[in-house]
């Protein structure tokens, strides 16, 4: 007697694309998510002194003094981090491919996830480049311009959050719809995605406040919003990496390993 | 729907962090927090507490009815939850309007920043909860739930009880507890 899970597998098997599945590359891409996180955490967070961020209430002179004091670590951290940000895109491709095994090839939410993950890279890269410019040119720029560049970076970095929110929502919806008896991504990780999704909304307040919980260095807009995301990326990555193996096993059983 | 407990647990932890940070900020400037606390409307705060307790009770009755397969009673109890949720929204809107009319905004001082942030986040939870209860009410009128199909109503009810619990902590924290 066929089980519900087997039925779901056979449905997705029929919907498989005709091109080969390269499981090894797929798995490598899935690993780029944790690597991206490690880079952001270590370089942007620790080396570039963004944990906690330099206060939004700082005066233009204080901002310039901060960039002067930490010019070298900022140059090193931000220049490497700009490059490493692309790994979020490659990770998103791996996640989308797993999602397609639930949603069907070319599924609209899988596409949304991949677009969301890719476009997330754009504001992050531009922000890092803005701060990198500020650090590079600190000796030639006025305190007012330094202050503007610092704030511009944060506004772009934070307020583009809804692109990532859509990515997270797409992922959460699709993995909730997984009919497997043992889901590819377990419910706690899916729901942590919703926590992350919800926690992002508060950062919309950052243009209006320079102190308190909603400021860009505040407990809500920084510590909660960023760390829910930082925790979500490796949790999801763990199950995406495992999902590649599980999908390969499913394909083997169905006689569909073609790579 | 076991994963919903992750959401509820994480939400509780996030609010616990916010409550602790509020207390920490209050320690830095107790006189300001105490003076600002006295400007809050205790009566409306108390009324809000009664409204949410009634709401939770009504939703608990709905789940109890569902468990006993008294499905005809479920919509009316859920409607009670929806209406009390809306009453809370109206009451909180009146309170905000009064504050704005007196020129009190999140930018007034750190206490008001916290007051509007904490009650605003809670209000967002109330709006979400009321929307979910409305969805359940509509579905229950069509007989979508029973004692064996109650995972979604129980999940929403658990969230609604959390919303109530958060207010039970928020009310004394903001309105009643002396800072000095």
- Tens digit of pLDDT for each residue in A68-112? 999 999 999 999 999 999 999 999 999 999 999 999 998 999 999
Average per-residue pLDDT for chain A: 92
Q: How far apart are CA B26 and CA A212, in angstroms?
A: 12
The confidence score (pLDDT) of residue B57 equals: 97
pLDDT at A18 over 80: no
- Provide the domain limits for residue B27: 2-176
Average pLDDT over residues A168-188: 96
Look at A212 and B1 and tell me if their CB atoms are within 8 Å.
no
What's the pLDDT tens digit per position in A245-256?
A: 999 999 888 877
Q: How far apart are CA B79 and CA B55, in angstroms?
A: 10
Q: Is A18 on the interface with B (CB under 8 A)?
A: no
What's the pLDDT tens digit per position in B38-47?
A: 999 999 999 9
The confidence score (pLDDT) of residue A253 equals: 86
Nearest residue to B160 (alpha-carbon basis) of B75, B83, B57, B90: B57
pLDDT at A6 over 60: no
The confidence score (pLDDT) of residue A102 equals: 95
pLDDT at A117 over 90: yes
Q: How far apart are CA A6 and CA B77, in angstroms?
A: 40
Q: Please measure the distance between the N-terminal and C-terminal CA atoms of chain A and give it in whole angstroms.
A: 30
The confidence score (pLDDT) of residue A16 equals: 56
Percent of chain B scoring above 90 in pLDDT: 93
Average pLDDT over residues A18-24: 75
Look at B6 and A187 and tell me if their CB atoms are within 8 Å.
yes
Answer whether A85's CB lies under 8 Å from A95's CB: no
What's the pLDDT tens digit per position in B85-111?
A: 999 999 999 999 999 999 999 999 999
Q: Which of A190, A220, A224 sits opposite B3 (nearest CB)?
A: A190
Q: Is A213 on the interface with B (CB under 8 A)?
A: yes
The confidence score (pLDDT) of residue A196 equals: 97
DSSP string, A106-141: T-HHHHHHHHHHHHHHHHHHHHHHHHHHHHHTTTTS
The confidence score (pLDDT) of residue A152 equals: 98
DSSP one-letter code for A179: -
Residue labelled with tokens 């809050």: B40
The confidence score (pLDDT) of residue A17 equals: 54
Average pLDDT over residues A162-187: 96
pLDDT at A163 over 50: yes
The CB-based long-range contact list for A161-166 (8 Å cut-off, 24+ gap) reads: A161/A200, A161/A203, A161/A225, A162/A200, A163/A116, A163/A119, A163/A120, A163/A123, A164/A116, A164/A117, A164/A120, A164/A200, A164/A229, A165/A197, A165/A200, A165/A201, A166/A112, A166/A116
| CA distance to partner chain B, nearest, from residue A34 (Å) | 22
Q: A217: helix, coil or strand?
A: coil
The confidence score (pLDDT) of residue A15 equals: 54
Answer whether B91's CB lies under 8 Å from B42's CB: no
Domain total of chain B: 1
Interface probe with B: pick from A214, A222, A235, most Cβ of B within 10 Å: A214
The confidence score (pLDDT) of residue A19 equals: 55
Write the CATH number for B165: 1.20.120.80
A52 preceded by cis ω (within 30°)? yes
* Helices marked H in A44-85: 60-69, 71-84
CA distances for B132 relative to A131, A151, B59, B155, angstroms = 43, 38, 12, 10
The confidence score (pLDDT) of residue B19 equals: 96
The confidence score (pLDDT) of residue A255 equals: 78
| CA distance to partner chain B, nearest, from residue A248 (Å) | 26
Q: How far apart are CA A86 and CA A26, in angstroms?
A: 16
Q: Is A44 exposed, middle or buried (0-12, 13-18, 19+ CB in 10 A)?
A: buried
Answer whether B113's CB lies under 8 Å from A212's CB: yes
Helix axis angle for A108-136 and A143-159, nearest 10°, is: 170
Q: Which of A208, A212, A219 sits opposite B17 (nearest CB)?
A: A219
Which residue did the predictor score with more confidence, A19 or A72?
A72
A-chain residues within 8 Å CB-CB of B5? Answer: 191
Answer whether A47's CB lies under 8 Å from A73's CB: yes
Look at B3 and A220 and tell me if their CB atoms are within 8 Å.
no
pLDDT range class, residue A258, cuts 50, 70, 90: low
The confidence score (pLDDT) of residue A20 equals: 64
Interface probe with B: pick from A178, A182, A191, most Cβ of B within 10 Å: A191
What's the pLDDT tens digit per position in B138-176?
A: 999 998 899 999 999 999 999 999 999 999 999 999 999
Which residue did the predictor score with more confidence, A69 or A16?
A69
Structure tokens at B141: 């009128």
The confidence score (pLDDT) of residue A1 equals: 40
């Amino acid at each position: 007697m066929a089980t519900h899970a087997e039925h779901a597998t056979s449905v997705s098997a029929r919907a498989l694309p005709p091109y080969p599945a390269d499981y090894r590359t797929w798995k490598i891409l899935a690993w780029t998510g944790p690597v991206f996180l490690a880079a952001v955490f270590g370089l942007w967070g620790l080396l570039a002194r963004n944990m906690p961020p330099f206060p939004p209430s700082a005066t233009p002179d204080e901002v310039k003094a901060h960039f002067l004091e930490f010019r070298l670590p900022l140059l090193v951290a931000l220049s490497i981090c700009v490059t490493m940000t692309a790994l979020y895109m490659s990770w998103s491709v791996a996640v989308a491919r797993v999602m397609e095994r639930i949603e069907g090839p070319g599924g609209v939410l899988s596409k949304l996830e991949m677009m969301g993950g890719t476009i997330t890279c754009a504001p992050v890269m531009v922000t890092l480049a803005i701060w990198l410019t500020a650090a590079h040119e600190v000796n030639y720029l006025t305190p007012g311009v330094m202050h503007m560049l610092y704030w511009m970076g944060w506004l772009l970095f934070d307020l583009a959050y809804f692109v990532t929110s859509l990515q997270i929502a797409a992922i959460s919806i699709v993995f909730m719809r997984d009919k497997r008896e043992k889901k590819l991504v377990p419910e706690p990780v899916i729901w942590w995605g919703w926590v992350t999704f919800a926690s992002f909304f508060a950062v919309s307040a950052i243009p209006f406040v320079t102190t308190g919980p909603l400021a860009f260095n505040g407990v809500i807009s920084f510590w909660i919003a960023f760390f829910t995301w930082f925790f979500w990326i490796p949790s999801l990555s763990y199950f995406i990496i495992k999902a590649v193996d599980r999908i390969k096993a499913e394909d083997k059983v169905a006689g569909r390993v073609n790579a | 729907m076991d994963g919903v407990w992750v959401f509820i647990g994480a939400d509780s932890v996030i609010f616990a962090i916010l409550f602790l940070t509020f207390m920490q900020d209050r320690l830095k400037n107790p006189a300001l927090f105490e003076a600002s606390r006295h400007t809050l409307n205790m009566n409306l705060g108390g009324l809000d507490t009664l409204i949410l307790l009634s709401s939770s009770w009504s939703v608990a009755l709905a789940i109890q009815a569902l468990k006993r397969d008294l499905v005809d009673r479920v919509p009316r109890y859920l409607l009670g939850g929806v209406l009390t949720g809306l009453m809370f929204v109206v009451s909180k809107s009146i309170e905000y309007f009064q504050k704005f009319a007196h020129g009190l905004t999140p930018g007034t001082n750190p206490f008001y920043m916290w007051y509007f942030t904490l009650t605003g986040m809670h209000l967002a939870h109330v709006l979400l909860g009321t929307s979910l209860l409305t969805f359940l009410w509509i579905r229950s009128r069509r007989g979508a739930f029973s004692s064996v199909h109650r995972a979604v109503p129980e999940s929403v009810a658990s969230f609604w009880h959390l919303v109530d619990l958060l207010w039970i902590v928020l009310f004394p924290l903001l309105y009643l507890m002396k800072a000095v």
